[in-house]
Amino acid sequence: NSFCLFQITALDSNFIHLCNPHLEKMKEDILYHFALGTGTHDFPALFGDVKFVCVGGSPSRMKAFIAYIAEELGLESSGCDYPNICAGTDRYAMYKVGPVLSVSHGMGIPSIAIMLHELIKLLYHAKCSNVTIFRIGTSGGIGLDPGSVVITRESVDATFKPQFEQVVLGKTVIRSTNLDEQLTKELMQCSIEIGQFHTVIGNTMCTLDFYEGQGRLDGAICLYSEEEKLQYLKEAYDSGVRNIEMESSVFAAMCNLSGVKAAVVCVTLLDRLEGDQISTSHEVLVEYQKRPQKLVGYFIKKSLGKV
């Protein structure tokens, strides 16, 4: 940790910082799960102009986002397809247009953590500067109408603590999950300017599981009552939690350690105080899932002076 703190304070704060002194001794760095490597790919040429990275669970959703942002920025070309930069692997998908990189991360903390290790190294090797990373996705809301968008103030664990806990070499390590406050405010202002959907700033609870970990009654195993479930979710709401997902804590922790501005923007598909299963029509869900894309897309356009 002392090395990492030295790196972040001593180096230009606009660049990515790697909290790993061992990487300097490596002749080549293979990003195995991206099927990319510094010995086989020219990272500065391929990625050096990246300023905005959007990550989300589904490969198809991240391809849809890159097509959307290309159109919004006027960078699309007729009949243009966007090739998957990670076509050599089926673990993750990656797409790029102009200064925007779009990457899938799968489901849950382990999957997004593996992706982030390699994404942060990719941005470092590419000598990227002034990068902002967004997680855009779906979530379960608490006390919000379905379709509401939550901009995360801080990610909390299942006991409502703003921390990410991991065991490293047999010892528990606790890391901060704060997110960039100014970026959060700027995103809220963008939502007000768009004026198309309800948006709030609130805490996001990050769990290790979709079923028991989120207090659902409809999993294969459930050893608690509906009353206990509702009491837990109301306690979460009273602590400031407005939505639940499974990636934000490690996302916030790793971006913090790497000196990268980051935000989490998720749409709620249901109010968990009203039920557990998503019964909304496919057409409505598709529209809901576009809302974080619209908000982050507007922010990117505004940042580039194209609004």
Which residues are annotated as part of the binding site? 91, 135-138, 214, 216
What is d(CA 115, CA 109) in angstroms, rounded to the nearest whole number? 10
- Give binding residues for substrate as ranges: 214, 216
Say if residues 173 and 303 touch (Cβ distance below 8 Å): no
CA angle, residues 167, 34, 44, in degrees to nearest 5: 110
Within the chain, residue ranges assigned H as helices are 2-10, 43-47, 59-72, 109-125, 181-194, 226-238, 248-257, 282-303
Task: Specify which residues 151 forms β-bridges with.
Answer: 201, 265
CA pair distance 288, 283, nearest whole angstrom = 9
Q: Is 114 helix (H, G, I), strand (E, B) or coil?
A: helix
**Which residues are CB-contacts of 128 (< 8 A; sequence separation ≥ 6)?**
15, 16, 47, 48, 50, 51
